[in-house]
């Protein structure tokens, strides 16, 4: 499954960070598993006790921000990275992984058909696709934040938009 989330669909949280994606995406559903948030570098909130967090610093026009990928360690192992998309790049994932890609600077063309602008996100889960081609959406280099969530429990990892 793939889901394109435009920047204007993200939720601002009470601590001022921007929630890109989470599971569950409402507080009254199943038990919390993971979240991907972006916040200003100086105001990044500390992770709650009993969670695992991976962090990557992102350089955007207007100043640095932090990508925080936080998970229940029994549900997932989080990873955060930054991808340079100055040329065609391929992102691969395993079948059980959830991958969240967020455009940080410039525009990115995903799969030759989804044009991602600043803070637009693409969530990949389930069986399709396991490979994703990225290329600059214009003649300028672009960068993307890459959040990976590896399943950590026997129940697997879920995400229901």
DSSP one-letter string for 6-38: -GGGPEEPTTS-EEEEEESSSTTSS---EEEEE
Could you read off the pLDDT of 7-40 as tens digits, one per residue?
A: 999 999 888 899 999 887 555 666 778 889 998 8
How confident is the model over 61-97, as pLDDT tens digits? Answer: 777 888 999 988 888 899 999 999 999 999 999 988 9
Looking at the DSSP bridge assignments, the partners of residue 142 are 85
**What is the per-residue DSSP string for 48-78?**
PTT-EEEEEEEEETTEEEEEEEEE-TTTEEE
Domains of the chain plus CATH, in order, are: 2-151 (2.60.120.10)
Give the model confidence (pLDDT) of 102-139 as tens digits. 999 899 999 999 999 999 999 998 877 899 999 999 87
Rounded CA gap, 94 and 4, in Å? 19
């Amino acid at each position: 499954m793939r889901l394109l989330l435009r920047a204007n669909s993200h939720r601002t949280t009470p601590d001022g960070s921007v929630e890109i994606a989470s599971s569950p995406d409402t507080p009254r559903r199943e038990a919390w598993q993971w979240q991907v948030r972006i916040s200003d570098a100086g105001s990044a909130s500390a992770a709650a006790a009993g969670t695992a967090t991976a962090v990557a610093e992102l350089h955007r026009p207007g100043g640095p921000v932090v990508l925080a990928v936080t998970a229940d360690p029994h549900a997932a192992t989080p990873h955060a990275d930054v991808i340079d998309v100055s040329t065609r790049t391929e992102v691969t994932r395993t079948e059980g992984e959830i991958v969240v890609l967020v455009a940080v600077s410039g525009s990115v063309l995903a799969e030759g058909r989804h044009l991602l602008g600043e803070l637009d996100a693409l969530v990949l889960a389930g069986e399709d696709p396991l490979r994703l081609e990225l290329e600059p959406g214009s003649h300028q280099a672009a960068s993307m934040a890459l959040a990976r969530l590896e399943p950590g429990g026997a129940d697997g990892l879920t995400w229901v938009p």
